[in-house]
């Protein structure tokens, strides 16, 4: 069910509880991202969100960008013990050993791919002819495509990309469009 936003427009129900959500919903969520760097950043942030509220990550996103060198995979792949310790001490991000290590491992996995290969891989899981959901009860947490994406990413050396994280990545990057049928962003 959509909710009327502060400007009187109908939006997905989750999108009106904070000003940051309104902005993110209207300008980013579900918009197509078709470059490896942008997809790597979103994959990383979705991984950090696991078990937390998205608003926590959204509010810390600029800190994440600064802490992780603007998500430059070349720089992150070269991180060593000092960088790990620096990140674990940074109160501006989510300090989770597994998630930090996953970001470093995923940067290294990305560098093993050809330019554009991550983009092609992720977009190959775009479902065909999916009807617009009318309520959030119709929006799944995982799909057969997100399960397959997760498996494919793991085969390429990526970690911390389970089916739920993969589906959230699909939603955030426009691979699927889960804006409700009567939402202004649809």
Catalytic residue among 14, 28, 54, 123: 54
Q: What is the DSSP string of 129-159?
A: SPPPPSSGGGS-S--HHHHHHHHHHHHTT--
Catalytic residue among 14, 24, 28, 123: 24
| Residue 29 known to be catalytic | no
Separation CA 115–CA 101 (nearest Å): 23
| Residue 115 known to be catalytic | no
| Residue 54 known to be catalytic | yes
- Provide the b/e sequence for 36-72 (b: ≥16 CB within 10 Å): beebbbbbbbbbbbbeeebeebbebbeebeebbeebe
3, 17 contact by CB (below 8 A): no
Catalytic residue among 46, 79, 145, 167: 46
Kindly provide the residue ranges of all beta strands, DSSP E only, lying in the chain, ordered along the sequence: 2-4, 10-12
Give which of 33, 37, 27 is closest to 76, Cα–Cα. Answer: 37
Q: What positions carry a catalytic annotation?
A: 24, 46, 54
């Amino acid at each position: 069910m959509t909710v009327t936003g502060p400007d009187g427009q109908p939006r997905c129900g989750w999108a009106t509880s904070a000003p940051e959500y309104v902005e993110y919903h209207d300008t980013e969520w579900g918009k197509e991202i078709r470059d490896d760097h942008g997809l790597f950043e979103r994959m990383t942030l979705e991984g950090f969100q696991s078990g937390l509220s998205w608003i926590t990550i959204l509010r810390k996103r600029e800190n994440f960008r600064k802490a992780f060198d603007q998500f430059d995979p070349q720089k992150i792949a070269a991180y060593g013990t000092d960088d790990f310790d620096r990140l674990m001490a940074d109160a501006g991000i989510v300090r989770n050993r597994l998630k930090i290590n996953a970001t470093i491992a995923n940067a290294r996995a990305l560098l093993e791919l050809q330019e554009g290969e991550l983009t092609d891989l992720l977009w190959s899981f775009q479902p065909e002819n999916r009807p617009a959901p009318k309520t959030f009860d119709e929006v799944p947490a995982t799909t057969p495509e997100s399960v397959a994406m997760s498996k494919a990413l793991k085969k390429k050396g990526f970690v911390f990309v389970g089916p739920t994280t993969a589906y959230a990545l699909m939603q955030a990057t426009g691979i699927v469009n889960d804006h409700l049928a009567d939402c202004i962003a649809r």
